[in-house]
A and B are shown apart, each in its own frame.
Chain A
Amino acid sequence: MTHAPYPKAASADIAMLLEGTFPFVSGGVSSWVNQIIRAFPDYTFALIFIGSRPEDYGQPKYELPPNVVHLETHYIHTQIDIPLIRRQRGDPATFGDVEAMHEYFRAPHASPDGANAFERLSRELLPGGKLDRDTFLFSEASWDFIKTKYREHSIDPSFVDFFWTIRAMHQPIWTMAQIAESLPEVRAFHTISTGYAGFLGALLKRRRGRPLILSEHGIYTKERKIDLFQSEWITDNRNVFQKDPTEISYFRQLWMRLFESFGKLCYDAADDIIALYEANRQRQIQDGAEPARTRNIPNGINLKALSPLRQQRPAETPPILCLIGRVVPIKDIKTFIRAMRTVVNRIPQAEGWIAGPEDESPEYAEECKNLVISLGLEKNVKFLGFQKIPDLLPKIGLMVLSSISEALPLVILEGYAAGVPTISTDVGSCRQLVYGFDDADRAIGASGRIVGIADPLALANAAIELLLDPAAWQAASQAAIERVERYYTQDMMFGQYRSVYERALSLPVPSLPGAAGQCPRRG
């Protein structure tokens, strides 16, 4: 490690809980975090980074803003040094609470005591508590609980796999409890996802009573689902008679339910639940968020910085399709490459640029490059690595997103500011960004095209249509500029977040940890 030591402070205004994003991973969410922190120079921020393993991240990808006074890193999947194995009984009453909490996850309305059970348990997670890591790992009560759950629910016969899945799944809970304990004094917590960071937020809210703000960009559980489908380390031991082909492996289901439960706990604890766009807010409510605490704050871009780029555009629209994003499976780069084959067949001088870091999934990047070769597109498709977006925008004709999952991609808005239309798959808020959200927005017109997921031909045809018809391209470009200026500027976003932050920070500091901020919650 050769980086400068991270800043440390005993207190800050806002603690940001960051799972696998800023400042070590570049991408839309990280850029958004960077934007937010820099927008509030009057507040100090403590950053809590949660990653998988130290070796999965290199140097910070962003320069830390000056108002970041504290940065600490934690890793979930590092080997924890298990202390001495200690045989112990475990406390049955505590496991009664564990049971109540699991029932609550299964059916929130049927067992309203679950939230209170979590409240009680959250105080017992530290070493010496009634539900510390040793209790989970070694106690007879824990063993009995695992056996009971296996008998009640497991549809996979292998007990040993069930056992180790349960162990692996729950371990991070105690890691989070340790983090929560050693965190600097802050006046508000802001988590940028549910998942582990969201669970940490819920723990912090319960332990310290300070407000918790949740900003969801993607849909954590959905992204996890994709990860879990691709992970090969989860086994499935059902034989041909036990298998229902429509069911995913039981152990995948377990992981999914863990993240759903983390999400539920985070929604229960959060004072503000912020979505980027309406469809996402509806999904939060469906997943158990209380509607009264939800709201939309869409992303906004720095219009002043980007609008001058329009003057740099050449008169002739260059036949260049650009995909800006990390080279990872979720971005489905391969569909873009396949689409390029069709585009080049029609427009031989067309180029496809892929601008984004390739270090997150080197094997996927390798597969993409091999695909380029096998389709004979070496002259047309270029991997540019990480690029500064303002340098790219004047040179390209279309912004392309072929992702299988997105939230509200900033690159679309940045492209709009520079007058570049977008062709995107129908994910996240992309349809809303291209065709408009309400009637007034729709009246502006289409600022690009939306195509189906994993449909290279549709993607190619939409691109060919806009590139070969200057009038259509011009109309889309105009709509893009108008839409971004009216609805998606940075100033709008900052204004809304300022009110969120001000309300959270103005709450009195509670005298007792866990005693404040408790309006009665009904599940």
Chain B
Amino acid sequence: MNELQLKVLELLKEDARRDADLIATLLGAPAEEVKQAIAELEHNHIIVKYATIVNWSKVDDEKVTALIEVQITPERGRGFEGIAERIYLYPEVKSVYLMSGAYDLLVEVEGKNLKEVASFVSNKLSPIDAVLSTKTNFILKKYKQDGIIFEEHEGDDRLMISP
């Protein structure tokens, strides 16, 4: 990864809707090079997807999210990989992380309501042979996600004109 690519990533991380021309202007780089950089980042799966961060709590259609701590027995030869795959393939699973510490996998599950998540845990997750235990933590409120603070900020309260 070169310096231009890194800068492009930073600017897209701030706002995914910025186009190559704007990014080129901001960085003082030729538009062609920026387009090339973006294409490479996409091709190499460094940019995996352009997504939107939604504050779902503001939408009537509320979802529940649980962070489930899972302890597992690793498989001979494959360690945690095979079981992680079995878990992350379920569409209700949003993210899976291998963790150090008191448990092995952290699994983020999203459902329409509590019951849906509970049934996922009892019917899908717990019965997997290698799973030793699960501990389900429901998210009550999101304050910050991916560096974005959800609470509405006080606006720009600088004077309109200053010396």
Q: Do A and B come from one complex?
A: no
